[in-house]
Amino acid sequence: MSEQSVIDARQLAALLTDTKLVILDCRYDLADKEAGARAFAEGHIPGARYASLHQDLSAPLGRYGGRHPLPEAEQFQQFARAAGIDTDSRVIVYDDQRLAFAARAWWLLRYFGHERVSILDGGFSAWQNAGLPIAKGPADPVSPGDFSATPSPERLLDHTTIYRQLDNPPWQLVDARDAARFAGTSEPIDPIAGHIPTAINKPWIGVTREDGSLKSVGELRAHWGDLPADDLLANYCGSGVTACVNLFSLHLIGRDALLYPGSWSDWCAHIVYPETETAEKPAM
């Protein structure tokens, strides 16, 4: 795995004195929005800053855009600068949920033009298990960074684009949710069960081990090996968050891929509140 994309706990520990290092703690709990911030205060990697999914890594909710809309460039730039991120910073992101939220931060940084970002393999648990030092309380103050956020819309697909090309898509839709939600036998969050027509299922949790560590590049290639190498993969999940775990794994094996950031929650919104040009509800 590329050192630029993945870093282990010992490697990160050796970098803690680097003045160009920025660490983002992305732990989060969808059922308790403040749980991640509390966990950060109880213990975090020294020098880390907290990145909240709903405050820092998402825009405010609207009718469309899903449960965790992408932040606008100005919002993300403000957060990144407050975290001390410069144009040439090396950013390390971590969580403790098998990359679920760290991958979102990784993807957003790259989407807004900051390529020098890595994910901590195994997350906070790996750091703890290595017996490395832990800081408590609020984050240390930092000088504002100078990072300028420039979005890369070519990395995205939106509802209209997908809807119009369902009959002959130039990509393969990949649904990162668990098998039951994909099949429509269980739907604990969204108002409609099922999946986008033509999609196949690759649950995001399948790219890591139970301890939260990434599978090897060989295992990841095998995981994605049933999809032709020249297929353009368009990834979605419930709200554009865990699909980024799939995107990260595809990056590690050298495959370009797209994100439908609104994902299933946005698709449902367009069915419940159809726009004029898509007034006919798509088949499920």
Which sign, positive or negative, has the C-alpha torsion 209, 32, 34, 67? positive
Q: How far apart are the C-alpha atoms of 143 and 132, rounded to whole Å?
A: 26
* Strand 48-50 versus strand 172-175 pairing type: unpaired
Distance of CA 231 to the CA centre of its chain: 21
Residues acting as catalytic residues: 237
What tokens were used for 73?
């460039």
Contact between residue 117 and residue 106 where contact means Cβ atoms under 8 Å apart: yes
Counting every residue written for the chain, the total comes to 284
Which sign, positive or negative, has the C-alpha torsion 157, 283, 202, 171? negative
CA angle, 80 as apex, 77 and 86 as ends, to 5°?
Answer: 100
Burial class of residue 244 (count of CB atoms within 10 Å of its CB; 0-12, 13-18, 19+): buried
